[in-house]
Amino acid sequence: MRFSSLCREAGRNIATGTARFALLSVLLGVALGSLVFIDGMTTSGLIAAAERFRSSGAATETLVAEGRVDGEACEALSRLPGVTAAGALRSSASKITIATLPDAPVPLHEVSPGFVGILTDRMGLPGGVLVPDELAETLGVSAGEVVASDAGPMPIAAVYDYPSDGRRAGFGYAILAVTNQARTYDECWAQAWPQLPNLRSLLLATVIPSDGADERKPQVSQLNSSLGALFEGSAAFADRMTRLATPTAAAIAAGLGLVSVRSRRLQQASALHAGVTRSDLFALNLLEGGAWAGSAGAIGMGIVVAVAATIAPGDHVAVFQSLASIPLAGVAGALVGVAMGTAAMSERQLFRYFKDR
């Protein structure tokens, strides 16, 4: 038979309901959509947990070595692969008295420009100081405004979030002044995401050697250890309960494909008995199977797009690629099941099929 004739025959079978197009499309579509949704929600939960870990400061390591931190070396860490931000901090004995809070002087710290990226996820800021959100709320100010202090007008360059969630205390009520001075610093902070196993060694490399025997040993610690030292994101993703969603989709679709042919075994055997070649029967069944499997796959891909759209922008593509394998495996599995069912069809079983109907 010519391909055009096979297409017309498949179209008639679909239109008349012989191919059970609607039933099979809905069944497979629901199965694929459910698997996509469940795996998508599981993946979304892991991504949210990773972002929670990073934003809490658990991915930030701090080195303390008073007066011995090379600011330029600390800033240079941000240029290394995997290090998202790095900056130095120098404590000040002086405090700032704000006009609207005369009885509550605010501690002042000087930071290098790169330090801004650790607290705000922004690398470039206009001139001014950084204040925590709670202090900004108390003062009733926001970024871009100016507050009066005993040191003169103080422009607010940015407001940063520093909740009491287990991270190191002392910066939830403080003012950070960005400075480019080449003096030494007391601390070096670095954030790496994904985490780097050698980040602590890199931090220690920013310490200026000292000949003094009474110098304290540099201390390296995690900014927030309440969520654990490591985030095993890759292991959690690999061991997630829905990791078998793709092969499950293929197996379910293959079963439906096999059933779609076996449920019409009398018709299939009759066609072979009437002179239809096995290759034409293969082509006809695959055209019909491709129609309902393709429709179900389209439903699944629509849900993939919808789920991926709810994920953070930086992970859109990765999540889409991960979930898209489920409907694609479903379409492929359905065609394999149809092919297996057709291959098992035999004209010699016609009379048995007739008696069993």
Peptide bond into 194 cis (omega under 30): yes
Q: Could you read off the pLDDT of 240-253 as tens digits, one per residue?
A: 889 999 999 999 99
By C-alpha distance, which of 47, 34, 12 is closest to 242? 34
Using N-to-C axis directions, what is the helix angle for 3-16 and 278-309, rounded to 10°? 60
Q: Which residue has the tokens 């890199």?
A: 202
Neighbours of 33 (CB within 10 A): 22
pLDDT over 90, % of the chain: 46
Neighbours of 66 (CB within 10 A): 14
**Which residue type is seen at 309?**
A
By C-alpha distance, which of 148, 108, 143, 151 is closest to 126? 143
Return all residues near 295 (Cβ < 8 A) that are at least 6 apart. Answer: 21, 25, 29
Q: Are 33 and 172 in contact (CB under 8 A)?
A: no
Please give the pLDDT value at position 294: 93
The 8-class DSSP code of residue 244 comes to G
Q: State which of 1-5, 178-182, 289-293, 324-328 shows the largest mean pLDDT.
A: 324-328
Return all residues near 223 (Cβ < 8 A) that are at least 6 apart. Answer: 57, 58, 60, 61, 62, 167, 168, 189
Instruction: Give the whole-angstrom CA distance, residue 218 versus residue 91.
Output: 16
Instruction: Give the whole-angstrom CA distance, residue 177 versus residue 282.
Output: 75
Q: Residue 6: which H helix or E strand, with range?
A: helix 3-16
- 127 compared with 188, residue with greater pLDDT: 188
Q: Could you read off the pLDDT of 269-311 as tens digits, one per residue?
A: 665 555 567 777 777 788 888 899 999 999 999 999 999 998 8
Please give the pLDDT value at position 10: 67
Degrees, nearest 5: CA angle 95-138-62: 55
Would you place residue 175 in the very low, low, confident or very high pLDDT band (cuts 50, 70, 90)? very high
Please give the pLDDT value at position 200: 93
By C-alpha distance, which of 299, 307, 291, 292 is closest to 327? 299
Instruction: Give the whole-angstrom CA distance, residue 218 versus residue 45.
Output: 37
Please give the pLDDT value at position 86: 94
pLDDT at 164 over 70: yes
* Predicted TM-score of the model (pTM): 0.79
Please give the pLDDT value at position 267: 65
Q: Are 98 and 151 in contact (CB under 8 A)?
A: no
Please give the pLDDT value at position 4: 73
Q: How far apart are the first and last CA of the chain?
A: 28
Q: Where are the beta strands (DSSP E) in 20-136?
A: 60-69, 83-98, 101-111, 129-132
Q: Could you read off the pLDDT of 70-103 as tens digits, one per residue?
A: 999 999 999 999 999 999 999 887 888 888 888 8
3-state secondary structure of 314: helix
Q: Are 254 and 331 in contact (CB under 8 A)?
A: no
Would you place residue 160 in the very low, low, confident or very high pLDDT band (cuts 50, 70, 90)? very high
Give the torsion through C-alpha atoms of 152, 145, 143, 79, to 10 deg: -50
